[in-house]
Amino acid sequence: MAYRYFDFYGKPARVTVDDEDIPELCEVYDPEQRALVRRNDLELDVIDSYGSNPITREKFEALLAKVRSKGGK
């Protein structure tokens, strides 16, 4: 399995894909829980919406650290 990382309208998101690049799990940062939470209902939005951009793992980790340090705000 592999991950695809996204900046989803300023929130870090990641999608787990199988060996055939088919999405299996979508996680989006939830500022209230201050953690990535399963949001398979947002999978298509994360993968293919105007406000969601693919990013590298390094940028994902930096964005995650940034939103956590700000309390998600």
Give the per-residue pLDDT at 70: 84
Give the per-residue pLDDT at 1: 82
DSSP character for 20?
T
10-residue mean pLDDT profile of the chain (73 residues): values are: 95 96 95 95 95 97 94 54
Give the per-residue pLDDT at 38: 97
Q: What are phi and psi of 46, to 5 degrees?
A: -65, -45
Instruction: Give the bridge partners for 12, in sequence order.
Output: 7
Give the per-residue pLDDT at 72: 46
DSSP character for 8?
E
Q: What's the per-residue H, E or C state across 32-71?
A: CCCEEEECHHHHHHHHHCCCEEEECHHHHHHHHHHHHHCC
Per the structure, the count of domains in the chain is 1
Domain that holds residue 14: 2-69
Kind and range of the H or E element at 10? Answer: none
pTM: 0.90
